[in-house]
Amino acid sequence: MTPGRARVWIGAARLRTLPAAIVPVVVGTACACATRAPRVIDPVAGDVSSRAIAWRPALAALAGALAIQIGTNFANDVFDAERGADGADRIGPVRAVSAGLVTAGAMKRAMVCTFAIACAFGAYLVAVGGWPIAIVGIASIAAGIAYTGGPWPLGYHGLGDATVFVAFGLVAVCGTAYVELGAVPALAIWAAVPVGALATAILVVNNLRDRVGDARAGKRTLAVRLGRRGALVEYTALLAIAYAAPIALAVARGAPWCALPVVSLPLAARDVRAVVAATTGVDFNRSLASTARLLLVHGVLLATGVAV
């Protein structure tokens, strides 16, 4: 593969979106570690933690999540192109199929191969966690395809935001905790809320940027249905939820470290101002990348606070 060809496929993988796959696994792992066993003090050895990470399931979950995210990005590239959503008036990054850089057939083959890799890691996770993990994996891949593909694409009917919240929040965080712990602790459900909210906020920025082209193509995202002002309210509300949830968790558990994500609140305020002020594709692309970074920072802080 030539360097230019490699860049095309790297662009199609949409690396900026990958924090949405990484953070749920990190947070879910932290929840499993915090729930597995309490920290103990040995009179001889000193402070000894029995909260060891289940590395094999954790790494398999991470690899599977990344493969599903990239496969979903490939699916969106080809199915949006086939539906005419990525037309000449697009102001976002170049999409490989619509720009003629990759054929639809090649993109579909890449999508299938990437989902197959996810299934390979999923097979190990099923062996560890049983049939519930099989259901989670199948549903995640189906959602990745159904977001823009199939006879009734979710993203074209305003259900993309809810799908992302559930898939990248509740399902991914709780599923990771389950495969490492054998159960879904209440802590994972609490922690899934801010993760899902920020992952959805990334989608809101994307849909705000593509609002005009999506409306032309009949892609009725929430940004199209609500309009610019409504989408901005949604974005702000999602970020507010992302910070209210850890504070509520800290109060409910009597564990102040769970509120550690509040440290990143200035970054969130900056992102809100930037999205509100955005008018060009470049502005929105910067905001999308910045929101993805916020998810990463917030997620690492949340995982740290939960694990302490």
- DSSP characters for 241-290? HHHHHHHHHHHHHT-GGGGGGGGGHHHHHHHHHHHHH--SHHHHHHHHHH
Going 196 to 201 to 206 to 211, the CA torsion angle's sign is positive
Query: Residue range 168-176: average pLDDT?
Result: 96
pLDDT of res. 46: 44
Ramachandran category for residue 14: left, alpha or beta (phi over 0 → left; psi -120 to 50 → alpha): left
Residue 49 pLDDT level (bands cut at 50, 70, 90): very low
- Check whether 234 has a pLDDT greater than 80: yes
- The pLDDT of residue 157 is above 80: yes
Residue 51: the pLDDT is 57
Question: Mean pLDDT score of the chain, rounded to an integer?
Answer: 92
87-100 tens-digit pLDDT: 766 777 889 999 99
In which band, very low, low, confident or very high, does the pLDDT at 37 lie, cut at 50, 70 and 90?
low
- Confidence band (pLDDT; 50, 70, 90) for 172? very high
pLDDT at 308: 84
Q: Computed over its alpha carbons, how large is the radius of gyration of the chain?
A: 20
Q: What is the pLDDT of residue 1?
A: 62
CATH of domain 3-41+52-307: 1.10.600
44 pLDDT higher than 50: no
Structure confidence at residue 38 (pLDDT): 53
Cα–Cα nearest to 55, from 45, 66, 63: 63
Mean pLDDT on 278-298:
95
Reported pTM: 0.92
Band the pLDDT of 4: cuts 50, 70, 90: confident
pLDDT value at 190 more than 80 = yes
pLDDT > 90 fraction of the chain, expressed in percent and rounded: 83
> What is the pLDDT, as a whole number, of residue 31?
95
Check whether 75 has a pLDDT greater than 60: yes
- The runs of H, that is alpha helices, within the chain are 3-13, 19-36, 55-83, 104-129, 131-146, 160-164, 172-181, 186-209, 211-216, 222-253, 265-277, 281-307
Per-residue pLDDT, averaged over 208-214, amounts to 92
Of 107 and 53, more confident? 107
Mean pLDDT is lowest, of 32-46, 53-67, 222-236, for 32-46
> Span 118-133, mean pLDDT?
95
Predicted pLDDT at 91 = 77
